[in-house]
């Protein structure tokens, strides 16, 4: 019996091997927690959405939008955009895609606990005809397109009537998928494997993509993930730890692709907990004592961009002349003026497994603050516990990383520095307890201003105020680092939001 | 006998209750499960509502009471991440761990026995000395160092074996996902089982050597020599039999170490077994799964220990009358 089983398996394997055309084996650090695209707003869920579903429109590498399931769009007035949808697209169940699916999906997004905050501004969606929808916002909104990039139409016929979004239990949508995307899910072992095959009826015939099968394995440990690539067991990994970069570069047949991301790392100085931090001179001194370029060079091996503000280069709010400043003499002078020549003790917390080398960076910062006689009691925690502490504002200085959901400065401001308001959710991550009413006004204005020039002025004004007040300590924007075999052309399909468009990935035959 | 049996079972129950309290009490220390379920931008209100739905705002006693009631019915809660019964999840990962442990034990038995015997028979021999030095080093080098070196040489430099995962698996008897019946599966098993074996090996080599030396001094072996039995017969039949008894006992005690080592090995090799599951659950704050794992592993220990005690009681009646201080 056993022999027969073994033989059958061998035969199956052999036939299987010949059928394998272009298999891409991927190892990332996390897998999507659910197949329901609306259950969690997180990087891994969105990565999966780009495989099994298509967005209405998506970001290109140059920061422009390109049409996907929407072929074009036009603004009807300040509060309405009309989307013209692609025809002859089918879901993997065979159901035809039409405007009703888009309406259904947006209405479901408005019910999702995670996406609700973003989609609240959409008042309603109306059907014009089978392939046209009008999206109305509650007030004039310049970022509607950025938000619509999160709409991955779901198969209404397939999901309807059993589409609850449940975060901790069984739901139909968390186990079953029907999208229009380039890949169809074959099987999934939660936490250890995800397998997809090419969608034979995919609408995008112009795509160069030639991947027939994807085997995705989440590998949490950096060294195991890299070993898997170096030993040839996988073809494409993310992320690569900075300490391994030099080594990986030396390996023949392996390529490294990096892009600056828009994720900003910063420190919050809690003004409610410590009277010392209410003094602008002390905050300024802390800003001057921290040497961002050195941290980037030594600890992140150059794979980040030192920051003197929150908005990265590509954002509207970015101000070119705000560079990080390091001046120890001036910092000491300011401490003296503020009456803290002898310094003081302060508590600091940072995660140790959330951002690139976060723990080492925190230790370096603690040492730098020691130079201006601030003794830092540093505590680093795994992210699972850290954010609990963050919510409770448990330390005087806390580290935070933030990537803007809308690819716009205002999202950073709303969450990180707006005055905290439990009702609206504004300032949810403002662990500085810094509150500047003028900033809140600017945020509100920038949310409604349609003229990009005027909008830029509002956003830059916020950055200026932050800098003037030394409200926070911006550290750096961290890079994204992928590695793959040479014949896998990942450089064409990765982007700064880390949603690799694997549907367009071209693998060269060796 | 009946008294003894009841007493042992009572003790076992008592230990299980303690384990359940401890495994439940650490839940609050691990972090916030709700944070793992929602994205960064979910509002505090949403999170508070979710905490309510999960019953995390109730008092410790009432939460524990619910957990204990469920545990008595064989329900250890529902994993947040896998979204099914925690016990089912753990049992589905059990085959992978058992296969790994089984292969490691097999390697240990096949390698440690001849090495130990050799070191006992010819203690002055160069090879024996070399073995003893090696096992001393082996005792003091942590398993993850061994594993990382193995990956580096076998997987990256020489490309002999895959570096992670379980490879191709087949269903055996309909319930058991096994990697033992495919070439790919065995291939994947090589490095992790070897690492695990190398971690356990030194202690057994030394133990077998010590026991064997002691046995070789005994009267009946001398008698055997004087009877003119062949050396092979004396060493491998008469002496080895009596050597192995205490070794097996110690082997049973080492089961705990084995569990600890599988957690490490599975993490390094991304081996989808129980240890890997546990580490994953810890980083995801999947509290029901963590408690369930501790209960299951604790239960295994309690059951094996109780069984061993009972068997001893049958075999050696004097044990039964020794007071156990209960």
> What is the CATH number for A76?
3.90.76.10
Give the separation between CA B121 and CA B116, rounded to whole angstroms.
9
Whether residue B200 contacts residue B192, with contact meaning beta carbons closer than 8 Å, is answered with no
Whether residue A412 contacts residue A265, with contact meaning beta carbons closer than 8 Å, is answered with no
Q: Is B160 helix (H, G, I), strand (E, B) or coil?
A: coil
Say if residue A366 is in the same domain as residue A268: yes
Which pLDDT does position A412 carry in this prediction?
A: 97
Which pLDDT does position A4 carry in this prediction?
A: 47
Give the separation between CA A377 and CA A365, rounded to whole angstroms.
11
Nearest by CB: A114 against B38, B162, B285: B38
Pairing mode of beta strands A23-28, A213-218? parallel
Nearest to A219 by CA among B269, B83, B275, B196: B269
The verdict on A243 touching B (C-beta cutoff 8 Å) is no
Q: Over the range A195-229, which residues count as b (16 or more CB within 10 Å of their CB) and which as e?
A: bbebbeebbbeeeebebbbbbbbbbbbbbbbbbbb
A509 located within any domain: no
Q: Is B146 helix (H, G, I), strand (E, B) or coil?
A: helix
Nearest by CB: B35 against A219, A220, A387: A387
Rg value, chain B, Cα: 24
Task: Count how many residues are written for chain B.
Answer: 326
Give the separation between CA B190 and CA B183, rounded to whole angstroms.
11
Q: Which helix (H) or strand (E) holds B123?
A: none
Taking each helix axis from N to C terminus, what angle separates B86-121 and B287-315, rounded to the nearest 10 degrees? Answer: 50
Residue A72 DSSP label = E
B319 pLDDT tier (thresholds 50, 70, 90): low
Which pLDDT does position A191 carry in this prediction?
A: 87
Whether residue B79 contacts residue B89, with contact meaning beta carbons closer than 8 Å, is answered with yes
**Do B30 and A384 make contact, defined as CB atoms within 8 angstroms?**
yes
A16 located within any domain: no
Whether residue A199 contacts residue A224, with contact meaning beta carbons closer than 8 Å, is answered with no
Probe site for chain B from A167, A216, A219, A410 (most B CB atoms < 10 A): A167
B302 pLDDT tier (thresholds 50, 70, 90): confident
Say if residue A334 is in the same domain as residue A301: yes
HSE (side-chain half, CA atoms, 13 Å) at A505:
32
Residue A484 DSSP label = E
Give the separation between CA A60 and CA A47, rounded to whole angstroms.
15
A47 located within any domain: no
Give the separation between CA A188 and CA A194, rounded to whole angstroms.
4
CATH code given to domain B86-324: 1.10.3720.10
Give the separation between CA A470 and CA A447, rounded to whole angstroms.
24
Give the separation between CA A80 and CA A75, rounded to whole angstroms.
6
Four-residue CA torsion sign, A382, A385, A390, A395: negative
Pairing mode of beta strands A132-137, A80-85? antiparallel
Q: Which helix (H) or strand (E) holds A280?
A: helix A280-289
Say if residue A199 is in the same domain as residue A124: no
Q: How far is A402 from chain B (nearest CA, A)?
A: 9
Cα→Cα distances A264→A120, A162, A169, A356, A402, Å = 25, 39, 33, 12, 5
Give the separation between CA A402 and CA A397, rounded to whole angstroms.
16
A1 located within any domain: no
Say if residue A201 is in the same domain as residue A123: no
DSSP states along A163-204: ----SSS--HHHH-----SSEEEEEEETTTEEEEEE-TT-S-
The tokens 């090495």 sit on which residue?
A: B115
Which residues have CB under 8 Å from B124's CB, separation 6+?
Answer: none
First and final C-alpha spacing in chain A: 40
Rounded to 5 degrees, φ, ψ at B85 are -55, 130
Which residues have CB under 8 Å from B142's CB, separation 6+?
Answer: none
Nearest to A355 by CA among A394, A382, A378, A389: A382
Mean pLDDT of the region B60-86: 91
Whether residue B107 contacts residue B203, with contact meaning beta carbons closer than 8 Å, is answered with no
A342 located within any domain: yes
CATH of the domain at A282: 3.10.105.10
- Nearest C-alpha in A relative to B33: A384
Residue B209: exposure state from Cβ atoms within 10 A (0-12, 13-18, ≥19): buried
**Do A170 and B83 make contact, defined as CB atoms within 8 angstroms?**
yes
Say if residue A426 is in the same domain as residue A310: yes
pLDDT in tens, chain A (510 residues): 444 444 444 444 444 444 457 999 999 999 999 999 999 999 999 999 999 999 999 999 999 999 999 999 999 998 999 999 999 999 999 999 999 999 999 999 999 999 998 999 999 999 999 999 999 999 999 999 999 999 999 999 999 999 999 998 889 999 999 999 999 999 999 988 999 999 999 999 999 999 999 999 999 989 999 999 999 999 999 999 998 999 899 999 999 999 999 999 999 999 999 999 999 999 999 999 999 999 999 999 999 999 999 999 999 999 999 999 999 999 999 999 999 999 999 999 999 999 999 999 999 999 999 999 999 999 999 998 999 999 999 999 999 999 999 999 999 999 999 999 888 889 999 999 999 999 999 999 999 999 999 999 999 999 999 999 999 999 999 999 999 999 999 999 999 999 999 999 999 987
The verdict on A233 touching B (C-beta cutoff 8 Å) is yes
What's the number of domains chain A is made of?
3
Residue A292: exposure state from Cβ atoms within 10 A (0-12, 13-18, ≥19): buried
B86 pLDDT higher than 60 = yes
Say if residue A343 is in the same domain as residue A197: no
User: What stretches of chain B show up as alpha helix (H) in DSSP?
Assistant: 2-25, 33-37, 44-53, 60-72, 86-121, 126-140, 143-150, 183-217, 219-227, 231-233, 240-253, 255-269, 274-284, 287-315, 318-321
**Do B270 and A217 make contact, defined as CB atoms within 8 angstroms?**
yes
Residue A90 DSSP label = B
Say if residue A472 is in the same domain as residue A484: no
Which residues have CB under 8 Å from B31's CB, separation 6+?
Answer: A382, A384, A385, A386, A387, A388, B285
Task: Give the strands of the sheet with A70-77, arranged side by side.
Answer: A70-77, A80-85, A132-137, A122-129
Nearest to A434 by CA among A401, A393, A487: A393
Say if residue A323 is in the same domain as residue A241: no
Would you state the structure tokens that stand for residue A443, as one six-digit string?
């945020």
Structural domain boundaries of chain B? 86-324
Whether residue A34 contacts residue A40, with contact meaning beta carbons closer than 8 Å, is answered with yes
Q: How far is A193 from chain B (nearest CA, A)?
A: 10
Contacts of A167 in chain B (CB under 8 A): 37-38, 50
Q: How many CB pairs under 8 A join A and B?
A: 148
Q: Is A230 helix (H, G, I), strand (E, B) or coil?
A: helix
Would you state the structure tokens that stand for residue A382, as one six-digit string?
């795994």
A43 located within any domain: no
Q: How far is B44 from chain A (nearest CA, A)?
A: 7
HSE (side-chain half, CA atoms, 13 Å) at A265:
26
Give the separation between CA A194 and CA A54, rounded to whole angstroms.
18
Which pLDDT does position B322 carry in this prediction?
A: 56
* Helices first, then strands: H and E counts in chain A: 17, 17
B323 pLDDT higher than 70 = no
Would you state the structure tokens that stand for residue A155, as one six-digit string?
């198969």
B1 pLDDT higher than 80 = no
The domain in which residue A236 lies consists of: 21-33+181-260+480-504
**Do B38 and A40 make contact, defined as CB atoms within 8 angstroms?**
yes
Say if residue A473 is in the same domain as residue A490: no
Say if residue A101 is in the same domain as residue A239: no
Give the separation between CA B158 and CA A254, rounded to whole angstroms.
17
Four-residue CA torsion sign, A465, A468, A469, A470: positive
Say if residue A301 is in the same domain as residue A434: yes
- Nearest C-alpha in A relative to B158: A231
- Nearest C-alpha in B relative to A45: B39
Say if residue A382 is in the same domain as residue A407: yes
**Do B32 and A387 make contact, defined as CB atoms within 8 angstroms?**
yes
């Amino acid at each position: 019996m056993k022999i027969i089983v073994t033989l059958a398996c061998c035969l199956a394997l052999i036939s299987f091997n010949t059928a394998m055309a272009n298999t891409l084996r991927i190892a990332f650090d996390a897998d999507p927690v659910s197949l329901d695209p609306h259950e969690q707003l997180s990087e891994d869920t969105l990565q999966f959405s780009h495989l099994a579903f298509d967005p209405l429109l998506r970001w290109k590498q140059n920061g422009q939008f390109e049409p996907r399931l929407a072929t074009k769009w036009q603004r009807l007035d300040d509060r309405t955009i009309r989307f013209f949808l692609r025809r002859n697209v089918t879901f993997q169940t065979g159901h035809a895609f039409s405007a009703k699916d888009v309406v259904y999906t947006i209405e479901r997004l408005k019910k999702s606990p995670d996406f609700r905050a973003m989609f609240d501004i959409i008042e309603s969606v109306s059907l014009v005809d089978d392939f046209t929808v009008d999206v109305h916002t509650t007030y004039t909104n310049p970022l509607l397109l950025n938000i619509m990039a999160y709409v991955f139409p779901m198969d209404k016929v397939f999901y309807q009537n059993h589409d609850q979004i449940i975060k901790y239990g069984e739901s139909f949508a968390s186990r079953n998928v029907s999208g229009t995307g380039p890949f169809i899910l074959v099987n999934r072992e939660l936490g250890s494997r995800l397998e997809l095959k090419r969608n034979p009826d995919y609408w995008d015939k112009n795509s160069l993509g030639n991947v027939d099968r994807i085997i995705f394995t989440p590998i949490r440990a950096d060294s195991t993930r890299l070993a898997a690539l170096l030993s040839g067991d996988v073809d494409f990994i993310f992320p690569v730890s900075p300490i391994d970069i030099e080594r990986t570069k030396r390996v023949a047949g392996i390529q490294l692709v990096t892009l600056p991301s828009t994720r900003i790392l910063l420190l919050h100085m809690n003004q409610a907990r410590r009277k010392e931090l209410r003094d602008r001179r002390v905050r300024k001194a802390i800003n001057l004592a921290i040497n961002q370029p050195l941290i980037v060079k030594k600890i992140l091996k150059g794979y980040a961009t030192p920051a003197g503000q929150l908005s990265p280069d590509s954002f509207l709010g970015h101000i070119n002349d705000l560079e990080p400043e390091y001046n120890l003499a001036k910092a000491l002078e300011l401490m003296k003026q503020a009456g803290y020549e002898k310094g003081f003790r302060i508590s600091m917390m940072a995660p140790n497994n959330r951002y690139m080398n976060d723990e080492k960076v925190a230790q370096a910062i603690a040492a730098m603050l020691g130079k201006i006689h601030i003794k830092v009691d540093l505590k680093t925690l795994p992210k699972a516990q850290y954010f609990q502490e963050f919510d409770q504002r448990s330390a005087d200085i806390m580290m935070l990383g933030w990537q803007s959901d809308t690819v716009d400065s205002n999202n950073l401001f709303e969450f990180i520095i707006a005055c905290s308001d439990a009702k609206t959710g504004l300032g949810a991550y403002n662990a500085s307890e810094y509150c500047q009413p003028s900033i809140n006004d600017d945020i509100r204005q920038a949310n409604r201003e349609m003229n990009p020039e005027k909008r830029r002025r509002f956003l830059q004004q916020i950055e200026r105020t932050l800098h003037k007040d030394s409200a926070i300590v911006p550290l750096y924007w961290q890079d994204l680092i992928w590695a793959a075999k040479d014949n896998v052309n990942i450089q064409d399909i990765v982007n700064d939001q880390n949603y690799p468009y694997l549907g367009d990935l071209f693998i060269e035959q060796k | 006998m009946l008294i003894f049996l009841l007493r042992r079972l009572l003790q076992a129950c008592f230990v299980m209750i303690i384990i359940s309290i401890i495994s439940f009490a650490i839940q609050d220390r691990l972090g916030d499960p709700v944070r793992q379920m929602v994205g960064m931008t979910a509002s505090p209100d949403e999170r508070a509502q979710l905490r309510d739905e999960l019953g995390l705002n109730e008092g410790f006693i009432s939460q524990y009471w619910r957990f204990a009631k469920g545990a008595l019915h064989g329900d250890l809660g529902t994993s947040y991440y896998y979204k099914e019964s925690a016990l089912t999840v753990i049992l589905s990962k059990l085959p992978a761990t058992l296969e790994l442990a089984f292969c490691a034990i097999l390697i240990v038995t096949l390698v440690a026995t001849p090495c130990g015997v050799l070191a006992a028979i010819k203690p002055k021999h160069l090879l024996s000395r070399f073995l003893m030095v090696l096992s001393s080093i082996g005792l003091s080098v942590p398993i993850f160092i061994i594993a990382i070196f193995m990956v580096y040489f076998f997987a990256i430099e020489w490309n002999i074996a895959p570096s992670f995962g379980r490879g191709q698996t087949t269903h055996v008897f309909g319930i058991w996902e096994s990697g033992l019946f495919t070439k790919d599966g065995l291939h994947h098993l090589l490095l992790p089982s070897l690492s695990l074996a190398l971690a356990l090996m030194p202690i057994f080599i030394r133990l077998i050597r010590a026991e064997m030396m002691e046995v070789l001094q005994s009267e009946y072996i001398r008698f055997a020599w004087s009877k003119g039995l062949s050396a092979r017969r004396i060493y491998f039949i008469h002496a080895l039999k009596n050597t192995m008894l205490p070794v097996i006992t110690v082997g049973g005690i080492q089961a705990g170490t084995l569990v600890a080592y599988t957690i490490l090995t599975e993490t390094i090799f991304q081996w989808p077994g129980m240890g890997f599951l546990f580490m994953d659950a810890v980083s995801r704050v999947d509290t029901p799964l963590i408690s369930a794992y501790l209960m299951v592993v604790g239960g295994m220990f309690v059951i094996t220990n109780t069984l061993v005690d009972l068997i001893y009681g049958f075999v050696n009646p004097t044990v039964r009358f020794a007071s156990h201080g209960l």
